Amino acid sequence: PRVEVRGVTAPRAVVSVNGEVIDVDDQGRFTAVVTLEEGPYLIQVIASDVSGNLLEEDLVVIFEG
C-alpha cells in the first residue's frame, strides 16, 4: 500500500522524505507518496529553510498485510 505524507514548512524550504527531495509550494506545503512494506516502516522527513534552521521528524508506520 501507499501512504501520503503531507506537511507545511517555511516557503522556499528544502524538504526530503526518505532521502528524496520533495517540491514545496509558495505557501510551504508539500506532499509525498511512500510505498509501505509489511512490518514496521520508517518515514523520515527533513526540512531546512533559507536561514539554516533544520527540523527532522521520524515516523514509524506498521503495516500488517
- Rg (Cα) of the chain, in Å, rounded? 13
pLDDT at 53 over 90: yes
Residue-wise pLDDT tens digits, 2-45? 999 999 999 989 999 999 999 999 999 999 999 998 899 999 99
CA angle 46, 41, 37 (to 5 degrees): 125
pLDDT of amino acid 64: 87
pLDDT at 65 over 80: no
